[in-house]
Amino acid sequence: SRRRHTRWNCDWSSDVCSSDLMRGLPACLVAAGEAEACRRLVALLHGPRLRVYTSPDLVGVELCGALKNVIAVASGMCEGLGLGHNAQAALVARGLAEMRRLGRALGAHDATFAGVAGVGDLMTTCYAPHGRNRALGLALARGQKAMDFLSQASTVAEGAWTCRAAVELGRRVAVELPIASQVASVIWESVPVAQALHQLLSRAPKEDDA
């Protein structure tokens, strides 16, 4: 009989979560895809120190795993400029709303963005000391060129490339992504970080559409 191929995705903040796992600390991840494939993965991995949640929302989990890196770069930029905890938290919250808007346009479930793959992974990536995308944002705020940082780093800050892909995807489905757009302008157009964040803060007032 023909073998049936399944498609699934595991999402976690790999640079942070894997380090915690190696130290024996508890962590969790989300397995998304067909129910049987997820069930087998849970049977293999779930245990006292690793909780595995399942989700049928493959698109949403994949988007969360990609877009949180872009928001983490912006969060690092905000932190690096010393704009304060309130500004950084607001940026991360608006980043989550931005992620959710794109997800809705692509058929993802709203609940995914409020769960472990969404807000959970986003918080880890934005605030964990060893987060590589946060580190890129900090470097940009210090005036370092993006390509210089990326060429010297021992790991990959995916947000540097994902920001451009996200902006293009948003353009195709008519979804505005102001944070991703500003991150892309800093990395690929050499716009000063302070100017990019000023553009975000200067946007017209609107309803909180989280």
Catalytic residue IDs:
68
Residue with tokens 């010297």: 152
CA distance 138 to 83: 12
Round to the nearest angstrom and report the end-to-end CA distance of the chain.
47
Question: 106 burial class (0-12, 13-18, 19+ CB within 10 angstroms)?
Answer: middle
- Spatial separation of the C-alpha atoms in residues 196 and 25, rounded to whole Å: 37
Phi, psi (5° rounding) for residue 9? Answer: -140, 140
Task: Write out the two tokens for 56.
Answer: 């049928």
Question: At 130, is the secondary structure helix, strand, or coil?
Answer: coil
Q: Which residue type occupies 61?
A: V
Q: Which residues contact 180 (CB under 8 A, 6 or more apart)?
A: 67, 70, 98, 163, 166, 167, 170
Number of DSSP helices (H) and strands (E) in the chain, helices first: 11, 3
